[in-house]
Amino acid sequence: MNDFFSTYGSLIVSMVLGSLVGLSLYLPLMTGQLSLASPGFYALGGYIAAILSTKVFISKSNLFPIHFLLLEMLIAGIISGLLGIAVGIPALRLRGIYLAIATIAFVEVLRVISLNLDITGGAVGIFGIPQPFENQIEYLWIALPLLIISMVLFYRLERIRVGRAFLAIREDELAAGAMGINPTYYKVLAFTLGSILAGMVGAISAHFLNTWNARQGTFDASIIYLTFVLIGGSRSFLGAVLGGMVFTALPEVLRNLADTGGLPDWLSHFLRDGRLIIFGLLIVIGTIFFPQGLVTPDLFKKLTKVKRS
Amino acid sequence: MQLSPKNTIILEAKGLTRRFGGLVAVNNVSFAVNQHEIFGLIGPNGAGKTTLFNLITALIPFSSGELIYEGKVISQLKPHQIAGLGIARTFQNIRLFGELSALDNVIIARHLHTKSNIVTGILGLPLATREEENSRQKALELLELIGLSDRTEEKAKNFAYGDQRRLEIARALALEPQILLLDEPAAGMNNNEKHQLSEFIRDLRDRLNLTIILIEHHVPLVMGLCDRIAVLHFGQLIALGEPSVVRNDPAVIEAYLGD
């Protein structure tokens, strides 16, 4: 068991963090808005945690105190949320592909700013972010409760007034407006909730990865996170969770596959380094054959029916 | 028994105009709708009827003119604010929330009559839970009213055309409106269904004390149902009055039969 955890601990935590990022992208999608801003808030949250833990919360003990990590997550969530409101109000006037482009631009702006500021360590980034745990697997103590709480919240959200307003806007924004729902308000709310979650996950990731730099919030990351929800399922939060887990693990699985030997050189090269190509292909194929992703609300209805009968 | 005096004006349009580029879809249209009235809006295809509905419900801004509701100018409002004033509508090209259940479609329209926010809702505090239960009850009553109470969990997009039109009416009624705008409610129905619908609309008006404005192509239905009728032709109001008057108006006959 210990062997298993020391080999796969890092991957398991990455998968949980991946599904949380997936959820942060799923929130604006609940209102039908394709926003790719999550990596920006993720990077911002990471920088906040990295700066606070290396410059402000200096502790003498061997392990970084967990309550400081929780405090960093809180601060990262608040700042991301405030920035989310500030960015969301103008950006959500745009729709569809234009919103996607605007949010990609937002991620790029944050990336370039972080490359050029002293406090973010410029191109080098921030090193030696203190560790609150001895083993990487122990990050689950933070990441897993956050995922479970988030999933419970999402489950509830889909069954209450606010969540139904989100879905109504996704289904038909114009009709939702005619039914008395203020589309702008709820779109900004969903976008802001997503940015809070992304910021908090970033704060955990910064500690988990030990180092943080401008490569965390890039266009590549946007595409990978988009795969999480588009292929996992854009109509059910479980799709985002499963998508986040599977597609975080996929590159590792492919790398193992490449190392098994007996494969032609070009194929093992492709499996090792062609991650973005594979994800890109999956997005194209997925949107054609599974426009709502693999995990859909209908799938659950079918499964529960089978169980009952 | 007539509770409200028959000639209280509830909605007034003054010189409403909407241009789409060079086309004047609605041209300087003025009329007043009385409380508790069934007000028909007819005209050939492309006369500007739906555009007029879209202007009233603020889905598109008007180029000029003024809209007055219960004595207040409501020209600058957004669609959800118009709904908040008690003006509900259905759509000509049905706009239900297709992937959601019939019940959810109607519950969503209870939005303005509920207040729970994201925190009280997620925590399931007593007020929010009670609200949810009330909305559900109210929605079930409305589905019963339109005769769909045995299919509440079915997706809206799976309903037959006529049922979708009725579901849209139920959804609009969930807003508890003062004015109900129906855009071609009888489209796609057979004569028998049209007759039933006409009875249903009159019954709604009496029971819920509604004012109803409806667009309809089927002339016999409009003539039999409406208290007054406005006729639009190329965006202009060419006649307004009781059915018997409008029916014999030379301009109307010419618009419908051509020259």
CA angle A168, A170, A176 (to 5 degrees): 35
- In A, minimum Cα distance to B181 occurs at A178
CATH label of the domain that carries residue A133: 1.10.3470
Among A156, A160, A168, beta carbon nearest to B97: A168
Q: What is the pLDDT of residue A191?
A: 96
The number of angstroms, rounded, from the C-alpha of B5 to the middle of its chain's C-alpha atoms is: 22
Domain total for chain A? 1
Any CB–CB contact under 8 A between A299 and chain B? no
Any CB–CB contact under 8 A between A307 and chain B? no
Instruction: Give percent of chain B above pLDDT 90.
Output: 71
Any CB–CB contact under 8 A between A189 and chain B? yes
Contact B171 A179 (CB under 8 A): yes
What is the average pLDDT across A12-35? Answer: 94
Q: What is the pLDDT of residue A262?
A: 76
Among B80, B97, B132, beta carbon nearest to A177: B80
- In B, minimum Cα distance to A156 occurs at B122
Nearest-neighbour CA in chain A from B44: distance (Å): 25
- In A, minimum Cα distance to B135 occurs at A161
Tell me which residue of B86, B135, B130, B91 sits closest to B110, measured CA to CA.
Answer: B135
d(CA B96, CA A56): 53
Partnered with residue B29 across adjacent β-strands are B16
Residue A224's pLDDT band (boundaries 50, 70, 90)? confident
Any CB–CB contact under 8 A between B125 and chain A? no
Q: Which residues of A touch B135 (CB under 8 A)?
A: 161
pLDDT single digits (tens) A250-262: 888 888 887 777 7
The number of angstroms, rounded, from the C-alpha of B33 to the middle of its chain's C-alpha atoms is: 13
The yes-or-no verdict on residue B259 having pLDDT over 70 is no
Contact B83 A182 (CB under 8 A): no
Any CB–CB contact under 8 A between A163 and chain B? yes
Question: ipTM of this predicted complex?
Answer: 0.91
Any CB–CB contact under 8 A between A151 and chain B? no
DSSP for A288-307? HH-TT-SS-HHHHHHHHHHH
**DSSP tag of A124:** T
Residue A1's pLDDT band (boundaries 50, 70, 90)? low
* Encoded tokens for B34: 């009385």
Domains and CATH numbers, chain B: 1-86+178-259 (3.40.50.300), 94-176 (3.40.50.300)
Determine the structural domain holding residue A79 and report its residue range. Answer: 2-308
What is the average pLDDT across B116-120? Answer: 89
Tell me which residue of B62, B5, B39, B27 sits closest to B232, measured CA to CA.
Answer: B27
Q: What is the pLDDT of residue A55?
A: 87
